């Protein structure tokens, strides 16, 4: 692109040249092109010298010169980091300070998810079903609210301050839960509450205000995860230089190591925290989680001088709304109108969106292109067009990208639903089974550690075993593409839930045939709980393939100024899976059970009378349908590519079939 004081010349890939004066631009094309049945609007992708107008008070220079483009990192005071200082910030050292925060958050997340059901049942004297639903809601809130945290990070606070604020909220919630487990006034009386009385429901119930307090601090903890979950993975990835030739390799290893830390947190929760609870009680167990969170917060703040930051790009919801309003305002404008000047964009390397590179025009969702149609009455030098009537191409493309990304994380909701059901229902299965490993008796609440161990094993062998083998099959230098890994994960989840159905049918029949039908909290000595390891290990492998691939996919494909929102898509899918599990359980209870007719629900508290196997077969069928939907969506999706084009630092998007 060559520019002068008075005009800007833009030459498209099709050889069509356009010139813009200080107040207008003329499209150099024939009317026959306008009347083609499928016009390529990229021909009219004009960079207007009227770029002095921008909805965000000035254009922003995006990084250039390097092989990868990208935006310029800033320090905590939002000042650009010089090349001399760049080598002293970011990288793996900064990422390790960030890892600890997510590791302890997940340790608390899984520690609460596995222990809170038992705490509500044995201490608060709540039924298993309502306890499981309350925990499912906690899991859902902690993930679904991530959209709010991602919005704050991308719009106003930046990822660092969002993590800092919400980590403090998380710590406050954990402290409140610890108090609930240590202060007698916050729990019902435990006198004369034997296991038999508990089963009969004869123990003193928790008072409404006691449950209100517990639910409040529990959901405060879940809300605290809103700013951690979407930001930690993205903030860690921000520490690597997009202009580096090894950037893709570093990013690939980073997300695997990130999830390895998540897994370590889960393993500690399912082993050490459970051990502390058994030996020292609920207060010490929950208090340990609070102390660990406090230490991780301190370490996170200690790493502050090392961090690289990205400027928040202003409210992404406002930008999305502006595109929708502008497109609706011009809904009746034809692409053939003689009033058309071109598709509006700022000149040169300048971007109207802080913290974002430019995004070239694409032909998807063409109805949204009307938001960027610059007409003669949109104003010149003396009249500033409203961003609610005219948006830049980059702003429109941001909305398109967000829409195109949606189907992929939506297909992972089913995996989250299965994980949620396993976390709560498989514990009930384990209570009826022999958990001895030789002379060592493993606590029932430790059983979910095995998916974590399978994840840890896979991630440890990922680069030495899986990548070389998959390279030979796929030809991909990284072993498998991001969407291929998501697909592998969804496939493994089907095998996991199908095996769960087969084993549960066998376990139930065994209990009935051997006289254990009424003893649903007593282990059957001759039936080992380690048959559950097959479904646990399969779901663990499914999780690591699917979630790691999804996180990397969303970070790389999301618009630069919406990466926290992109990462929040994964957490939102997880939250919706938790809520879906609660809704599914409620539907099944109402549809299959009837107390008046003494009809037993599939999800009866006495698992030997219920039909968990039917639920697992239902999940298998739903997972198969979901898998084929994913294959269709993945096949149609085209990856974005980023490199420096002729325009200098402009992001060029090319497609690649999946």
Segment (H or E) for 471: helix 467-474
Report the range out of 1-15, 20-34, 155-169, 561-575 with the highest average pLDDT.
155-169
Q: Which residue has the higher pLDDT, 199 or 249?
A: 249
**Separation between Cα atoms, residue 91 and residue 87, nearest integer Å:** 8
pTM: 0.72
Looking at the chain, the whole-number percentage of residues with pLDDT higher than 90 is 15
Could you read off the pLDDT of 400-429 as tens digits, one per residue?
998 999 999 999 999 999 988 887 788 788
Residue 590 pLDDT exceeds 70: yes
Mean pLDDT score, 301-310: 88
pLDDT at residue 383, as a whole number: 57
Could you read off the pLDDT of 111-138 as tens digits, one per residue?
888 788 888 888 887 877 778 778 878 8
Instruction: Give the contacts of 444 (CB within 8 A, at least 6 positions apart).
Output: 427, 430, 431, 435, 529
Mean pLDDT score, 350-377: 80
Residue 607 pLDDT exceeds 70: yes
As given in the structure block, the two tokens for residue 649 are 């630092």
Burial label for 627, CB within 10 Å (0-12, 13-18, 19+), is: middle
**Separation between Cα atoms, residue 455 and residue 464, nearest integer Å:** 15
Alpha helices (H) in 77-157, listed in sequence order = 83-86, 91-122, 128-144, 146-152
**Separation between Cα atoms, residue 210 and residue 536, nearest integer Å:** 35
pLDDT at residue 2, as a whole number: 40
CA angle 412, 158, 651 (to 5 degrees): 70
Residue 634 pLDDT exceeds 80: yes
Instruction: Give the contacts of 486 (CB within 8 A, at least 6 positions apart).
Output: 408, 411, 412, 545, 546, 549, 550, 553, 630, 634
Lowest mean pLDDT among 514-523, 619-628, 635-644: 635-644
pLDDT at residue 34, as a whole number: 36
As given in the structure block, the two tokens for residue 409 are 């994380």
Residue 630 pLDDT exceeds 90: yes
SS3 labels along 621-634: HHHHHHHHHHHHHH
Mean predicted lDDT score pLDDT of the chain: 77
**Separation between Cα atoms, residue 583 and residue 497, nearest integer Å:** 19
Q: Are 281 and 119 in contact (CB under 8 A)?
A: no
**DSSP string for residues in 539-566:** HHHHHHHHHHHHHHHHHHHS-GGGHHHH
Q: Are 577 and 419 in contact (CB under 8 A)?
A: yes
pLDDT at residue 487, as a whole number: 93
Lowest mean pLDDT among 227-231, 408-412, 519-523: 519-523
């Amino acid at each position: 692109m060559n520019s002068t004081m008075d005009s800007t010349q833009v030459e498209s890939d099709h050889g069509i040249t356009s010139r813009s004066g200080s107040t207008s631009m003329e499209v150099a094309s024939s009317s026959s092109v306008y009347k083609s049945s499928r016009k390529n609007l990229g021909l009219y992708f004009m960079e207007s010298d009227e770029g002095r107008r921008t909805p965000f008070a000035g254009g922003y220079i995006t990084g250039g010169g390097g092989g990868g483009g990208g935006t310029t990192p800033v320090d905590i005071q939002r000042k650009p980091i010089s090349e001399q200082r760049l080598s002293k910030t970011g990288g793996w050292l900064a990422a390790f300070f960030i890892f600890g925060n997510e590791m302890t958050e997940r340790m608390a997340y899984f520690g609460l998810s596995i222990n809170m059901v038992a705490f509500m049942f044995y201490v608060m004297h709540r039924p298993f079903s309502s306890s499981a639903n309350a925990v499912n809601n906690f899991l859902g809130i902690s993930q679904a609210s991530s959209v709010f945290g991602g919005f704050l990070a991308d719009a106003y606070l930046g990822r660092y301050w969002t993590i800092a604020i919400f980590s403090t909220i998380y710590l406050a919630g954990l402290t409140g839960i610890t108090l609930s487990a240590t202060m007698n006034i916050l729990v019902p009386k435990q006198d004369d509450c034997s296991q038999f009385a508990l089963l009969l429901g004869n123990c003193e119930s928790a008072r409404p205000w006691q449950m209100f307090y517990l639910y409040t601090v529990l959901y405060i903890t879940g809300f605290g995860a809103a700013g951690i979950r979407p930001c930690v993975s993205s903030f860690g990835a921000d520490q690597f230089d997009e202009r580096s030739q090894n950037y893709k390799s570093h990013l690939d290893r980073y997300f695997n190591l990130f999830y390895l830390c998540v897994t370590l947190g889960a393993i500690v929760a399912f082993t050490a925290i459970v051990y502390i609870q058994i030996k020292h009680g609920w207060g010490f167990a929950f208090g340990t989680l609070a102390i660990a969170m406090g230490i991780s917060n301190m370490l996170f703040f200690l790493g502050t001088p090392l961090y690289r930051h990205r400027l928040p790009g202003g409210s992404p919801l406002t930008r999305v709304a502006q595109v929708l309003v502008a497109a609706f305002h011009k809904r009746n404008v034809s692409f053939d109108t003689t009033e058309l000047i071109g598709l509006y964009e700022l000149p040169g390397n300048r971007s109207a969106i802080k913290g974002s590179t430019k995004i070239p025009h694409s032909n998807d969702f063409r109805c949204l292109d009307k938001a960027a149609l610059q007409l003669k009455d949109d104003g010149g030098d003396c009249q500033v067009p409203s961003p609610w009537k005219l948006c830049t191409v980059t702003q429109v493309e941001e909305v398109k990208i967000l829409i195109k990304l949606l189907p992929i994380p939506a297909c992972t909701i089913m995996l989250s639903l299965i994980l949620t059901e396993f976390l709560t229902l498989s514990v009930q299965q384990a209570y009826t089974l022999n958990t001895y490993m030789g002379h060592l008796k493993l606590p029932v609440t430790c059983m979910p550690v095995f998916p974590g161990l399978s994840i840890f094993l896979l991630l440890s062998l990922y680069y030495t075993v899986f990548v070389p083998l998959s390279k030979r099959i796929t030809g991909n230098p990284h072993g498998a593409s991001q969407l291929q890994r998501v697909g592998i994960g969804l496939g493994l989840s089907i095998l996991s839930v199908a095996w769960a159905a087969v084993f549960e049918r066998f376990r139930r029949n065994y209990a009935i045939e051997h006289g254990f039908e009424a003893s649903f909290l007593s282990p059957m000595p001759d039936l080992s709980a380690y048959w559950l390891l097959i479904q646990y290990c399969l779901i663990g492998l499914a999780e690591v393939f699917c979630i790691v691939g999804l996180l990397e996919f969303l970070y790389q494909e999301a618009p630069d100024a919406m990466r926290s929102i992109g990462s929040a898509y994964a957490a939102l899918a997880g939250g919706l899976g938790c809520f879906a599990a609660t809704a599914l359980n409620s539907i099944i209870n109402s549809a299959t059970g009837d107390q008046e007719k003494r009809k037993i629900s599939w999800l009866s508290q006495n698992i030997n009378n219920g039909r968990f196997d039917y639920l697992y077969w239902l999940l298998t069928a739903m997972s198969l349908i979901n898998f084929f939907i994913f294959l269709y969506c993945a096949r149609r999706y085209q990856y974005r590519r980023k490199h420096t084009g002729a325009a200098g630092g402009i992001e060029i998007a090319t497609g690649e079939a999946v």
